[in-house]
Amino acid sequence: MPIRVLLVVAVLAVTACETRDPTQPLTPEPPRPTPKRIDTTFLAQYAATNKFTLGRPTSFKVSRDGALVYFLRSTARSFSRDLYVYDVVAKTERVIATAAQLLSGGTENLSAEEKARRERMRSTARGIATFELAKDGKRLLIPLSGKLYVVDATSGQAKELIDAGGYANDPSLSPLGDKVACVRNGDLYVIDIATNQQTRLTTTASETISNGLPEFVAQEEMDRFRGYWWSPDGKSMVYQETDTRGMDRSYIADPSKPDHPPQSWPYPRPGRANASVRAGIVDIRGGATRWINWDSGVFPYLVSVTWDDGAPLLIAVQNRAQTDLKLYEVEQGRGATRELLTENDDAWVNIAQSVPRFYDKGRKLLWISEESGAPVLEARETSGAMLKELTKAALGLHELVSVDEAAGHVYVLASDDATDKRLFRVPLDGGDATAVAATRGKESAAFTEGAPVFVHSQTLEDGSARDVVRKLDGSEVGVIASVAEQPPLMPKLELTRVAEHDLNAVIVRPRDFAAGTKYPVIVHVYAGPHNRIVDRVPRSYFLDQWIADNGFVVVAIDNRGTPGRGRVFERVIKKDLITVALADQVAGLQALVKKYPELDGSRVGIYGWSFGGYASAHAVMQRPDIYKAGVAGAPVTEWRDYDTHYTERYMGLPDENPEGYAATSVLTYADKLERPLLVVHGTADDNVYFAHSLKLANLLFRAGKPFELLPLLNFTHMVPEPEVTTRLYEKVVDFFQRSL
């Protein structure tokens, strides 16, 4: 350093000393917590119990008379479920069937289609992962390892059905409970239970065609997991034919086994070919298919099929831009269609799979519309004509759950403050919605049409979780037992609203929090559409509490673009998935730092998975002045490489929005990276392919930017294995301790 610079520095230092009032004491810097040794005891328990959910009952089916409730449950540290029945009157339970009994000790195997289906459903269940109860309550259908078992609902005696023709995918009982349908090797079959005779209903015309299975985007983005539907009388079916000819193909190899050929999947990339879908009606005795006629060139997406007893067959379809959704009535004999109603939105139309629903002996239907600015439940004529709105926009409607015509009301799930999801009762003739329970939290419910009881599942703001059997008036008649491990701690939350747009935010402090101490901040982010991360349920924040206990304060913010706050709040992100989201995240964080002095705004890290990983990567690249380190888990780095139905809904077609695609790509900013970045990705991810992170790593390397890449060998978009979950988040905390 030149002497003149040293002199200037010395003069400035002396001047500073001379100008300070010596009578005033120095203001000490707030103490900073000492980085802790990472203790993974709690994390290991959290991972081994799958977030303390293993052992909790699930998949409830109520008998028509309300006397019995069937459900699945595993032990506290197993993903393998068995089938139980709860006696509502006696308040006792017993085992009906176990995977070990049905397979006689054999090994469970899953087909590629079943693995993909469970991945789309984010299901980690093994053993008896699903089952069906016949409408008359006399028998149960249990699919297991590609085999089909029909089980007497009272005695538990099991009968294995014929397995000729290959693995039985997505089986279902007929409305009368006397037959079972399934898909084998891309074709639809029906099996008569009494005779164990199987009838093949379709014949695939080529290797690119399958029948009876939903295409990738239907499962991943539309929440439609079925590709065939029984007629109410059980004599015919509607099924989907899917042709993937012309689609791009993606390949997933096992890097640890270079001698094994990769798996290949058709994958619909933005602006490229989608699967070609049509639907037809076929008699279960076989014969020619009567194809349903609609303009699939304009409306290529088959959204839903509804065929209720005493009501016409309906299909809902959507245009590729997802700005129009049409509901058609189908004339079964000729396959002709008649338009009942249209939903239109200049940005996009959200799909509501819980509607349409018929009532009043098929003379009226229920529909969910956002034309008023938020989702509302509507009563309509079967012609599509409006009768009345049954809910108000402020209720924050999620879905229709059940219709109780005898009592004159419906049940819905809704969020009246966007931090919970509760069960409400709504009068069919109009009136205010009433919460079934006074408590707040996250709820769901299982009803059977005509049954006098239902199961009300609650995860509440006091940290409790239970599954209650209730009468239709809401009174409690029993509780189905959980054998899940009780967590040794319960996260402590503080909810608040911040910044210009009144954003919901949550704060999780360390349990040994010391007032007056400045803590580094970790932002847990998702930031993407159709998902919220801020809620009032402590059980949502076990991982965040563990991270906080390692010397941080963890915060989360729901920016504009997330659901539950009305149309304008949600759709402001059209054609640009990051600019508004990141601006809101920054504004929310700065407001929190200003409001809470314990938050050290000079030491902020950010982490997230999937869209949250995408947001984390953008944050450290675009705003290094705010975010000093980031962890990007399974990030979408280039929207041209993600699927059509999701990407085009928000971004439009690539050729119509090239500037938007470039501006929202993480790859665009790779050469701007100044802060530590850890990228984590499963090598077998068939949702956000590993190529996203490899492309980012390549550009960062070429730009001379230091970063860390952690590939998770043969993991998909989910990471359920306890050991890997433990080591992953141990590494995340170590990364933030080193970086902040």
Active site residue 456: no
pLDDT digits (tens, 9 = 90+) for 543-557: 999 999 999 999 999
Give me the catalytic one of 610, 616, 693, 739.
Answer: 610
Specify the pLDDT at position 12.
Answer: 31
CA dihedral 135, 136, 137, 143 (to 10 degrees): -50
Domain range for 536 is 34-47+486-739
Percent of the chain with pLDDT over 70: 96
How many whole angstroms separate alpha carbon 625 and alpha carbon 675?
Answer: 9
656 sits in which H/E element = none
Half-sphere exposure in the Cβ direction for 527 (13 Å, CA):
35
How many whole angstroms separate alpha carbon 39 and alpha carbon 336?
Answer: 65
- 623 assigned to some structural domain: yes
Q: What integer is the mean pLDDT of 441-460?
A: 97
pLDDT digits (tens, 9 = 90+) for 558-603: 999 999 999 999 999 999 999 999 999 999 999 999 999 999 999 9
Active site residue 369: no
Active site residue 345: no
How many whole angstroms separate alpha carbon 586 and alpha carbon 619?
Answer: 9
Give me the catalytic one of 187, 243, 467, 685.
Answer: 685
Determine the residue type at 279.
Answer: A
Task: Name which of 35-39, 356-360, 624-628 the model is least confident about.
Answer: 35-39
Q: Taking the alpha carbons of 160, 161, 167, 172 in that order, is the dihedral positive or negative?
A: negative
pLDDT band at 27 (very low <50, low <70, confident <90, very high): low
Answer yes or no: is pLDDT of 205 > 90. no
**Residue 134, CA distances (Å) to 57, 174, 195, 229, 671 in order:** 20, 8, 18, 15, 59
- 216 assigned to some structural domain: no
Q: What integer is the mean pLDDT of 128-149?
A: 96
Answer yes or no: is pLDDT of 421 > 70. yes
**CATH number, residue 640:** 3.40.50.1820
- 634 assigned to some structural domain: yes
Half-sphere exposure in the Cβ direction for 361 (13 Å, CA):
0
- 460 assigned to some structural domain: no
Determine the residue type at 594.
Answer: K
Domain count, the chain: 1
How many whole angstroms separate alpha carbon 691 and alpha carbon 638?
Answer: 10
Q: What integer is the mean pLDDT of 412-431?
A: 95
- 373 assigned to some structural domain: no
**Residue 231, CA distances (Å) to 223, 241, 310 in order:** 21, 17, 10
pLDDT band at 475 (very low <50, low <70, confident <90, very high): very high
Which parts of 104-197 fold into alpha helices (H)? 112-120
pLDDT band at 44 (very low <50, low <70, confident <90, very high): very high
- Strands 386-389 and 397-404, by their bridges, are unpaired
Specify the pLDDT at position 120.
Answer: 87
- 676 assigned to some structural domain: yes
- Strands 290-291 and 553-558, by their bridges, are unpaired
Assigned token pair, 176: 């009368």
Percent of the chain with pLDDT over 90: 90
Assigned token pair, 47: 């991972």
Largest CA distance in the chain: 102
In 3D, which of 729, 513, 631 has the Cα closest to residue 41? 729
- 62 assigned to some structural domain: no
- 678 assigned to some structural domain: yes
Specify the pLDDT at position 112.
Answer: 86
Q: Are 477 and 467 in contact (CB under 8 A)?
A: no
Cβ-based burial of 249 (10 A; exposed 0-12, middle 13-18, buried ≥19): exposed
Q: Are 636 and 611 in contact (CB under 8 A)?
A: yes
Give the CA radius of gyration of the chain.
28
Strand partners, 76: none
Which parts of 538-664 fold into alpha helices (H)? 542-548, 567-571, 579-595, 611-622, 644-651, 658-664
pLDDT band at 24 (very low <50, low <70, confident <90, very high): low
Query: 3-state SS string over 20-86?
Result: CCCCCCCCCCCCCCCCCCCCCHHHHHHHHCCCCCCCCCEEEEECCCCCEEEEEECCCCCCEEEEEEE
How many whole angstroms separate alpha carbon 266 and alpha carbon 173?
Answer: 30
pLDDT digits (tens, 9 = 90+) for 382-420: 999 999 999 999 999 999 999 999 999 999 999 998 999
Assigned token pair, 535: 């809620």
pLDDT band at 14 (very low <50, low <70, confident <90, very high): very low
